[in-house]
Amino acid sequence: MAQPIKLYPHLTRVSSHYKKYDIEVPKSLLETKPKKPDLKDFPYPLPLRKKDYTCSCQGNNGVMWYGGEGGVTRYDPNTKSLYDVVMYFSAKRDLMDNSVQNIVADGDGVWVLTASGVTHIDMVKMTSEEKAYKLLEETLTYVQRHGMVSQKRLSEASNLKSALPYGHSDNDGSFSSAYAMGEIFHYATLKREKGDYAEETLRAREVAFRASEAALLLMYVAGRGDGFVARTYLTSQEPVPDDGIFFKKNGATASCINTTDSRNKNIVGLEVKADAPIPERLRRCYTSEGFEDTDITYKADTSSDEITHHYMHLLVAHEFLGCEDPEYDLLLKTAATNTMNHIIDNGYLLRDATGKPTTWAKWCEEYFNTGMGWADACLNAGEILMYLRVTMHLTGEEGKFQKAFDELCEKGYDKLTVKHFDRFFQSSLSGGLDVREEIMYGDHMLAVLSFWGLATLEKDEERKELFRQAFRSWRTSLADEYTPAYDFPYFLSDPENAKPDEERIRTWFYRFNVSRLASNVSMTTRRDLPVRTYMGGYQSLSALPTNDERFIAKLDRDPLEYKDEDSGGVFCVESCYVYTLSYWLGRFFGFIEECDE
Amino acid sequence: MDKTTRLIGNAHLDPIWLWRWQEGCAEVLQTFRSALDRLKEYNDFVFTCSSAAYYQWVEEIDPEMFEEIKSMVRRGRWVPVNGWWVQPDCNMPSGESFARQALYSQLYYYEKFGITCKTGYNVDSFGHNAMMPQLLKKGGMTSYVFHRPCPNENAEIPENLFWWDSADGSRVMTFKIPDGYGTDGKNALDYKMEDINRRTEEAGHGMMLFYGVGNHGGGPTKGDIEYLIENLEREGYNDLEFSSPDAYFEEMLGQFLDLPVWKDELQHHASGCYSATSLIKALNRKAENALAAAEKWDTISSIVTDSAPKTKEFEDAWKKVCFNQFHDILCGCSIMEAYEDCKESEGYALNIASESYNNAVLKIARKVDTWVEGISDAVLEARHYSGAREGFPRPVIVFNPHSYEVNMPVRMYHPSKAVTDSEGNEVLFQNVRSSRSNDEHLDTLFMAKVAPFGYATYWLESDNVQADKELSGENNFFMENEFVSVELDSETGYIKSLVNKETGVDYAEDNFLSIPTVIDDHETDTWAHNVFKFHNIKGLMELVSIERVENGALRSVIRTVHKFNESYLTQEFILAKGQKTIKVDCKALWQEKFTLLKFAFPVGGKKEISTYEIPCGFIKRPCDGDEEPALNWADLTVTKNGNRMGLSVISDSKYSYDCPGAELRLTALRNVIFADHYSYRPDANFNFTDEGMNRFSYGIYLHSGEAEESVIVKEAHLFNNNIVAVPEGYHKGTLPQKDCFLYTNADNVVITALKRCEDGSGDLIIRLYETKGLENTRCYIMSKLFDNGFWFDIKKHEIKTFRVDHNLKVKETDFLEGIPD
């Protein structure tokens, strides 16, 4: 891109809830007669029917607020952005409930009386960078677990302070790696802009290393010594859920814990080697909290999702952390080499303690020729080629890895990557589904990481063009999301086809909530967003809603999905990585820049 | 890998071709009877048949047989395919026509059989536009079967089975029938089995083998079926299986196939068919536009005046239009007598359109407050002034069926002394020569500015108008407005200067433009089989006369008359204020046998690319001189003197162009023998397709940059759809003197349908498409019809259909309006 997209300080919504007669609540809210708005000639689509609006007020700069049965609408007649002209506020992310009885202005914000209480909606002017820091702070305070981030369960709905000290995600390795990449770009950006020793830089360095180490630990923590990567791990202070395959480390070995899945596989009590050394600086992720190796229970049956995130994290960490910390760089290289060897030596599989491949980590031709693998093959072929390229880049060793790369290309893996849409379309249609309802949205990130990595590292121009084609094949569904963490790597990989929609990118950052606390929105009450039903019954919206008006999720859901519920439910706070990865990646590569008003 | 050959027993039925529709109807009845008998005789035999129109004939004429068919459909023995009313020509119908083909047909199949067709099936159509995958998909179909063009006509199109994509990203699994859609007799079947077997081995997947007597119906014979049964497991061949296209595609979807992908149109087969028989093409265009505009205002009127919409009448009318889009009809290659029938049915549709339109706008007009204080009850009933009061201007209400704001001249059939708008502002007007000889011979043209889907009231003062003695002013041949200037050559009558005033570029700097060129066409048949270029120039038409007809405040008109042998062409070049398009009204008295009349625009320049409108989109094609189909417009864009510039030709009734290098040519007439099919042409007094009087209009629009960056789509829509002016009386009313009922913010979106849902729910249906090929646009629609609006994102070339219910919930649906479950 010739010029970075300028991000200006922008209003961000922040809601605070009160009891009706709280001393903070202005009397006028309770005593003034609601003023019914005149919406006869309202020039833009309204989220509710006009007859549903029963109260209104005027705020600063001509901004109008309308309330009624269904929530609150803000109208800014002076904004230049089509995305900001009408905003919708709904329960329970913005309001306690949707029965709005009265509304009074408060500067840029508004007081809202609803059936169950009072909400103060503050429109806080902040920069996109400030937002990144606030979100990071929330994640560090409430979400991170031994340095890993995915999400945290809450004991009370929508109460951040009730976050439980434990709780894992099946994909901790993926999300933690993505978070780590964001913080590494954060550090790299500050290092470039503010210098190595600025206070903010040093703080960012600390966060980046901690995030990176936590992710890297998962490539060592199983202690099998064969490069096997754990999905995640728990300490002895955390309950083991009945969700997957877990091994409790007992010293020289680890034994499989009794869960439904392990019983089904008949591996309860199965012993596996667990005494391979774990680098001390990585062990500190749990030893610093008072835990020992024998306190660790790790989750197995790791999927290609984790491996793909880990390898791209290895590349980014090598480039920005490894270069200034040779000891750490060696850990990165060793992890890359060990896991790569594991995969190659096991016939392009990740092999679990049972000796069988894990459910989803398969990059071999045999898998590609199965019903399930046929459509997956194009992504998985890209993944394994990316791992090999990253490993060679990190280690400088080409022998075995180059041979494997060449052999896979000889088998057509590189050319296979471009067939993604064709195969996926056929697979979807054969199941009576449209692509949108068949696709695993988490695969989007895997495709981005794989083809970004390959387009970056591949030196053969002809093959690089194949990988760009593969990336373009994924754009058929990726492009709809306007997620900067997907778009920026694509623009980097395929600059000739980079056509950034500046206003949408700007809006994505501007309209991101300043908290990842889940509490749902009221999408299904809206009248201004058409709903489309696909062949298999899946429903999505005809217009992409802004971040602050749609459900909260990781980068593994369709942002157009027609639903109210945040993906973690109301007993959840998600991590910041969706925003921070997008923001710092964009800042580092010059897609965005902060500007004064 | 499944290599079974699926046997598709079918009957290709031309309801009109070398016979009239009555015979076609009888052929359908006989074929369906025969198919039912065969189904009863052979337990494994499956029959496939398209075209909802045929089923409706059977239902109405032979309800008992229809019940038998229903029973067979339920049992999966009889498989309806192609959710369209007929097998239409797939180049010339508008996008909205394709939507209606699907809407009325799929809902018919759904109502009668409880199914919708999943396979599109146009086995005889002569070419297939590049938007077809989207048109099929949004009509409820996921796969497609076609036959033409053949490999000798276009060898690049994949053979057998492939994915076909349109520019919006829609995709259908597509099977190209290799050896024709019909056959009978052992030898023909043997040949097909041999060929299909070879293809199966080469491709590694199963194929379809189509059999059955076709064209004039018939279907699979006993002999065919019995021979196939004998050979179901023939030594050395892949197994045969009686089946249907639906079953074949379902089976293929389950195979691990990396099929070729085709992202282009499927052309050409019968290049003469884009221009043969101007009559049916003009009727098609007119009916499509009239019905779409009428239904929009009927919908608005029914809501505003709380009256019943004419949804059923529009269905009846559209079915006639859809029927006449059958490929042998719209392509102009049927017998002359058949077009008498087509005129009747198109007339039926046009009459429904005009009556509905008139009723709709008048119902609204009656509610507009046009009362003027001081009006007495006394009425001056002077001739042509019905309703006007002496001393008072007369209200005229102008209605706009477009989703664009319009600012264009409107004609009233009386002269005026002054024209004002509803705010009392003076409005540009001009009294022009009328078509009548009575009275003062003058009509009023005034500039009307009307909101999208809106109306505006104008006041025409018509007392004591004196005719101007000289309407034409000085007799030069130069005209200009804010956007363009044009000068005709006094020696040739061709354009000798054509300047885009925005850029200052003269398009006629090197060559005359708009040259009426006569092309020899005696060596081909009506279809022009195996001929794809028409370049053999017989001569240029020579000027007989040139004169300035008008030179007023609002517009100028120059008339030319040209001659070629005994044929005459009168052209009136019209340039009005505020208009970007020069309009040329033509009257051709044509007598040249075996000829084409083309209007040539040899712009010159380099990096030439031609762009053509296709249903709900556009396509770029090389300037290789091939005759090309297009809807409302075609464009030539070149680089000349460092300028990227384009010239578009718009037409009100034509569909054929060519671009031999940096020259764009509109094919206006094609005068060949009716239904001349590879004929030896015995010595007979044949009738010719375009002989006699032809009236048509074309427009010339200039732009800088590429065609899609310009406003050509809007100009072409305005050219093809007139705004309507209604003379009104003086009365109180609840509606203001101007209003707008629906609009969109996006200038790359055009709304093609505004109607009520076919299920009687009263829900509003809005259909639109993206015109400029922009990646993803955030848009909204606002409407007083449901007192709100909605947001949507639209991708390049995408067609969207929305359904708004009484509770203001909005669904995005497709051509079928969400009716089938």
B810-813/A531-533 β-pairing: parallel
Six token digits for residue B187: 């030898």
Report CB contact under 8 Å: A479, B775: yes
Residues B80 and B200 in one domain: yes
Q: What is the pLDDT of residues B506-558, one digit of tens each?
A: 999 999 999 999 999 998 999 999 999 999 999 999 999 999 999 999 999 99
According to DSSP, the residues that pair with A119 across neighbouring strands are A17, A112
**Residue A478, helix vs strand vs coil:** helix
| B726 lies in some domain | no
Among residues B364, B386, B421, which one ends one of the domains?
B364
Looking at residue B376, what is its pLDDT?
60
Question: Per the omega criterion (within 30 degrees of 0), is the bond before B268 cis?
Answer: yes
Contact B142 A531 (CB under 8 A): no
What percent of chain A shows pLDDT beyond 70?
A: 100
Same domain, residue pair B258 and B338: no
Interface of A with B (CB under 8 A): 43-46, 49-50, 82-83, 369, 374, 419, 422-423, 425-426, 429-430, 476, 479-480, 499, 501, 504, 527-533, 542-544
Task: Answer whether residue B380 shows pLDDT above 50.
Answer: no
Residues B213 and B261 in one domain: yes
DSSP state of B213: B
DSSP state of B219: B
For the entire predicted model, the pTM comes to 0.97
Do residues B709 and B761 both lie within one domain?
Answer: no
CB contact under 8 A, B791 and A542: yes
pLDDT of residue B392: 85
Q: Structure tokens of B724? A: 């309507």
Percent of chain B with pLDDT over 90: 90
Task: Report the number of secondary-structure helices (H) and strands (E) in chain A.
Answer: 19, 21
How far is the C-alpha of A211 from the C-alpha of A139, rounded, in Å?
A: 12
Q: Is B783 exposed, middle or buried (0-12, 13-18, 19+ CB in 10 A)?
A: buried
- Distance (Å, whole) CA B218 – CA B9: 11
Angle ∠(B744,B748,B749) on CA atoms, nearest 5: 45
Can you tell me the mean pLDDT for A452-477? 96
Please tell me what DSSP assigns to residue B326: B
Three-class secondary structure of residue A102 per DSSP: strand
Q: Which of B611, B614, B613, B652 shows the shortest CA–CA distance to B635? A: B611
**Amino acid at position A291, single letter:** F
Token match 């392509």: residue?
B331
Average pLDDT over residues A233-256: 95
- Residues in A closer than 8 angstroms to B801, CB to CB, are none
Do A542 and B258 make contact, defined as CB atoms within 8 angstroms?
A: no
For B252, residues 6+ apart whose C-beta sits below 8 A from its C-beta are: B161, B173, B205, B206
- The last residue of a domain, from among B411, B430, B465: B465
* Pure H helices in B42-166: 52-61, 63-74, 95-113, 132-137
Mean pLDDT of A461-475: 97
Q: What's B447's domain CATH number? A: 2.60.40.1180
| Alpha-carbon span B358 to B356, nearest angstrom | 5
Least confident among A532-546, A557-571, B497-511: A557-571
B471 belongs to a structural domain: no
For residues A173, A175, A178, A184, the Cα torsion angle rounded to the nearest 10 degrees is -80
Could you tell me the two tokens for B128? 């297939």
Judge whether B729 lies within some domain: no
Q: Answer for the pair B444, B411: CB distance below 8 angstroms, yes or no.
A: yes
Cα separation, B689 vs B154, in Å, equals 27
- pLDDT of residue A442 exceeding 80, the answer is yes
Residue B613: domain span: 478-677+689-720
Q: In the numeric block, which tokens belong to residue B36?
A: 């039912």
Tokens of A566: 């945040």
Q: Does residue B323 share a domain with residue B208?
A: no
Amino acid code (one letter) for B281 = K
Give mean pLDDT, residues B401-430: 96
Mean pLDDT of the residues in chain A: 96
B contact test, residue of A528, A535, A540, A558 with most B CBs within 10 A: A528
User: For the CA atoms of chain A, what is the radius of gyration?
Assistant: 25
**DSSP letters along A545-585, please?**
PPGGGS----TTS-TTB--SS-TT-SSEEE-SHHHHHHHHH
Residue A391 φ then ψ, to 5°:
-60, -45
Q: Within a domain: residue B17?
A: yes
Cβ contact, residue pair A422, B163, below 8 Å:
yes
For A303-335, what is each residue's pLDDT tens digit?
A: 999 999 999 999 999 999 999 999 999 999 999
Last residue of a domain, one of B465, B497, B512: B465
pLDDT, chain B, mean: 95
Locus of tokens 């938007």 = B131
pLDDT by residue (tens digit) across B678-734? 777 777 789 999 999 999 999 999 999 999 999 999 999 999 998 999 999 999 999
Residue B209 located in a structural domain = yes
B730, part of any domain:
no
* B263 domain residue, yes or no: yes
Q: Which CATH number characterizes residue B330's domain?
A: 1.20.1270.50
CB pairs under 8 A between A and B: 95
Q: State whether residue B722 is helix, strand or coil.
A: coil
Same domain, B599 and B543: yes
| pLDDT surpassing 80 at residue B438 | no
Count of domains for chain B: 5
Shortest Cα distance, chain A CAs vs residue B244, angstroms:
17
Shared-domain flag, residues B501 and B580: yes
Question: Residue B489 half-sphere exposure, CB side, CA atoms within 13 Å?
Answer: 17
**Per-residue pLDDT band at B375 (split at 50, 70, 90):** confident
What is the model's pLDDT at position B469?
53
Q: What confidence score (pLDDT) does residue B389 get?
A: 64
Looking at residue B132, its pLDDT comes to 98
Q: How far apart are CA B438 and CA B441, in angstroms?
A: 6
Looking at the complex, report in whole angstroms how far the Cα of residue B170 sits from the nearest Cα belonging to chain A: 10
Confidence of residue B456 (pLDDT cuts 50, 70, 90): very high
Regarding whether B136 and B182 lie in a shared domain, the answer is yes
- The pLDDT, as a whole number, for residue B436 is 87
Kindly tell me the burial class for residue B119, based on how many C-beta atoms sit within 10 Å of its own C-beta (0-12, 13-18, 19 or more).
Answer: buried
pLDDT value, residue B473 = 63
User: How close A171 comes to chain B (CA, Å)?
Assistant: 30
Select the residue of B171, B776, B812 nearest A425 (Cβ to Cβ). B171
| Shortest CA gap A414–chain B (Å) | 15
Mean pLDDT computed over A26-52: 96
Identify which of A369, A501, A527 has the shortest CB distance to residue B808.
A527
First to last CA, chain A: 22
Task: Judge whether B34 lies within some domain.
Answer: yes
The angle at the Cα of A290, spanning A289 to A291, to the nearest 5 degrees, equals: 100
User: Which residue in A471, A456, A478, A575 sits closest to A517, CA to CA?
Assistant: A575
- Checking if the pLDDT of B382 tops 50, the result is no
Question: Tens of pLDDT along B65-113?
Answer: 999 999 999 999 999 999 999 999 999 999 999 999 999 999 999 999 9
Contact yes or no for A142/A35 (Cβ under 8 A):
no
Residue from B25, B88, B24, B11 nearest B59 by CA: B25
B94 and B207 in a common domain: yes
**In this prediction, what percent of chain A has a pLDDT beyond 90?**
94
Our CA dihedral for A188, A193, A197, A201, rounded to 10 degrees, sits at: -50
Q: Are A377 and A416 in contact (CB under 8 A)?
A: yes
- The CATH number of residue B96's host domain is 3.20.110.10
Candidates B721, B776, B727; CA nearest to B749 is B776
Q: Are residues B635 and B488 in the same domain?
A: yes
Residues B253, A532: C-beta atoms closer than 8 Å: no
User: Does B41 share its domain with B81?
Assistant: yes
Kind plus residue range of the DSSP H or E element containing B516: strand B515-520
Q: Could you tell me if A299 and A232 are in contact, meaning their C-beta atoms sit under 8 angstroms apart?
A: yes
Judgement on whether residues B701 and B784 belong to the same structural domain of the protein? no
The answer to whether the Cβ–Cβ distance between A504 and B778 falls below 8 Å is yes
